[in-house]
Amino acid sequence: MRARRRTAPERPEAGVPMADSPEAEAETPAAEAPAAEAPAPDSPEAATPTLVWERPEPRSRPKPSLLSRDRIVRAAVELADAGGLDAVSLREVAAALDTGPVRLYRYLSTEEELLDLMVDAVYGEIIAPEPSAGPASPGGDWRRDLRSHAHRSRVAALRHEWFADLLGGRPHLGPNALADFEASLAALRRAPGFEGIDTVLAAVDAVDAYLVGAVRKEVAEARAERTTGPDEQQWQAAAGPYIGRMLATGRYPTLSEAVVDAAARDADTVFDTGLTYVLDGIAARLSAP
């Protein structure tokens, strides 16, 4: 599952000096070691922007408070879990860590980098604890591996609902995100029927498209329930009389059959059934002449 970037300001919030400004220098504790020096303007390194995962962390000291990218990300994830992405800013993260916002700019440059790190932390929860032996050899159970990956992704997205807001678009490039994508590709690459990498990518994209849509729908329904108040049963009871009158007109015979005769299914069953249809479709496509 690949995530998209949320647009984030490239500069600190109002009143927060940039890390290399005189105000930031005054606020930086003397006990904290300086960050790594930037490359010379005319050097090859300066020509290519360095991603946050390639930049070394500055050494930190326990006073006034011990910082690390991991602590910053964990604090940001907790804020997002409680209040969504709107609750996350460098100022709020700094307050949660009992430090000043300027110190955070020694560990990351923008709020967009913070979002990238948060997303990669969630991918770390999705990755299987131990690689499956199946995909590494011919005859691996690709359906089992993709199903397991989809269910882990759904669980992580429901645990961190803000993650669903960042799904789709350009893939993220953090080490956990890359490992997650590699695992999906590897589950198919050596399995029978997947003759080339294009076939592998098409199948992974199909599962990914279903996963993103299903998870976003489920998160949207959970948010609607919290926002509007009634749960699904209460909502159905309130809307029931209207739906009954509309179906009684005879203009919606198939919908009427679905409402009256369809079996009730919980969210887990709905997700897994839809996923089964996608996997069956991939298998049928592979066996087609």
**% of the chain exceeding 70 in pLDDT:** 75
For residue 144, the model assigns a pLDDT of 93
pLDDT above 60 for 23: no
CA dihedral 83, 88, 91, 97 (to 10 degrees): 70
Q: Is 229 left (phi over 0), alpha (psi -120 to 50) or beta?
A: left
Amino acid 133: pLDDT: 44
Count CB-CB contacts under 10 A for residue 23: 12
pLDDT of 271 above 90: yes
Q: Which residue has the tokens 């910053």?
A: 72
Phi, psi (deg, nearest 5) at residue 74:
-60, -40
Domains of the chain from N-terminus onward: 1-231 (1.10.357.10)
Per the CB < 8 A criterion, the answer to whether 108 and 117 are in contact is yes
Residue 37's identity, in one-letter code, is E
Q: pLDDT tens for residues 216-258?
A: 999 998 888 887 776 677 777 778 888 889 989 999 999 999 9
Residue 32, pLDDT score: 42
Tell which wins on pLDDT, 224 or 16: 224
Q: Tell me what the pLDDT averaged over the chain comes to.
A: 81
- pLDDT for 263: 86
Alpha carbons 237 and 231: distance in angstroms, whole number: 10
- Comparing 134 with 83, the larger pLDDT belongs to 83
Burial group, residue 177, by CB count within 10 angstroms (0-12, 13-18, 19+): buried
**pLDDT > 70? residue 2:** no
Mean pLDDT over 156-164 rounds to 96
Report whether pLDDT(154) > 70.
yes
Summarised one tens digit per residue, pLDDT across range 34-93 is 444 444 545 555 445 578 878 887 776 655 568 899 999 999 999 999 999 999 999 999
Taking 50 as the threshold, does the pLDDT of residue 29 lie above it? no
